[in-house]
Amino acid sequence: MLSKRTWQLAACCAATAVLTAASLLCAEGVLLERITGSASESVRFLRTMQLLKNHYNGDVDNHTLFEGAIKGMVEGVGDPYTVYLNRKDFQQLNEITDGTFGGIGIVFGKRGDDYIVISALPDNPGALAGIKSGDIITAVDEQPTRSMNMEQVANSIRGQQGTEVLLELKDKEGRLRKVRVMRKEIKNPSVGGQFVPDTKIGYIRVAVFNENTGADFAKEYQKLEQQGMQALVLDLRGNPGGILDAGVAVAGMLVPKGPIVSVVDKAGNKYVEKSSLDKVKYPLAVLVDHGSASASEIVAGAIKDTRSGRLFGVKTFGKGSVQSVYRLDSGTAVKITVAKYYTPSGVSIHNVGIEPDEVVELPENAVKDVQLEAAVDYLKKTLREQE
């Protein structure tokens, strides 16, 4: 039961709200109403801003309020890959795609409520500290990640070179451990190639798909070709993906004429990237694992569906969505999931992944690379059959 005084206060507040609503429906309110389609939503937004500015016991900065509003609006779509990039985030994104950035050298994605390590880049601090693909990041510097979005987790892990970050991780068996890692400048060469010892089987490792990957892959491929390559192992393990065009460029050198990937947007518009290669030149084996994602899956999916090669390893991560970055001004942007991609056979692998042709598990603390051995044995057999 409410007291008489409480009823009077409630009535007063209601009257104030009506007057405030009327005053708030100015030019800004009319514009908001056109956007939201609701006068009440517009009033709610503007009244919240007014209440903060008038009653919050502290400094209120308009820029900070609008930053928070934009960030919350973007997060409201419920997609972990659709994010607002403030000046710091946008700069870091540019550094990542350029191939050099600061941090500990891990790439992670979100599955349900969990932040899962997709890849710990070789010879970088995270991998050297024992972080592995499949580890779940449960806390950063004692702050639980369940209360953070992806950019907040990423920004907590990144930091000034020479400083440390404490990660709490849960492995595939559910065991928790804490790892302290020193941040460094992350060097991530995109492509490396060589011959499998005592063979004419080429081996090309693609660590990430960045701006330089297409050209770097072509150089390594041509170099091995000039030295007498007869077959090829393409290693995409632990490759978290990157730029779609770079994946298409690599696939275009490996699969025959026809579709590489189909990209379908919100309106149902379909764009197909195609290969112009006359025919597959060499027997091909591809290595994939749980850390192969995004552009890696575009390449692996095209090779599997066109039967241009054979996949070895374990099921890939399953990120089949495409993001575009839209600048808001000179220093901020929004990264938005704009489409899903489909393999040449029309399959969406988002949250599903790609099953290899031959499942080969790599044991924990393995002393030899059984996945690579299986791929090489397959190629040797294929070459013998061609003689």
pLDDT tens by residue, 309-329: 999 999 999 999 988 899 998
pLDDT above 50: residue 258: yes
Distance CA 105, CA 208 (A): 12
Asked whether 180 and 164 are in contact (CB, 8 A), the reply is yes
Rg (CA), the chain: 26
Q: Which amino acid is at 128?
A: L
Asked whether 113 and 122 are in contact (CB, 8 A), the reply is no
Q: Which amino acid is at 234?
A: L
Asked whether 172 and 134 are in contact (CB, 8 A), the reply is yes
Distance CA 12, CA 6 (A): 10
Predicted pLDDT of residue 387: 77
Predicted pLDDT of residue 34: 57
Domains present along the chain, CATH in parentheses: 4-60 (no CATH), 103-186 (2.30.42.10), 191-386 (3.90.226.10)
Predicted pLDDT of residue 141: 95
Task: Please state which of the ranges 128-142, 182-196, 228-242 shows the lowest mean pLDDT.
Answer: 182-196
Asked whether 291 and 119 are in contact (CB, 8 A), the reply is yes
β-strands 191-195, 114-120: how paired?
unpaired
Asked whether 376 and 387 are in contact (CB, 8 A), the reply is no
Predicted pLDDT of residue 24: 44
Distance CA 85, CA 64 (A): 14
Return the active site residues.
Answer: 294, 305, 319
Distance CA 337, CA 321 (A): 7
pLDDT band with cut points at 50, 70 and 90 for residue 110? confident
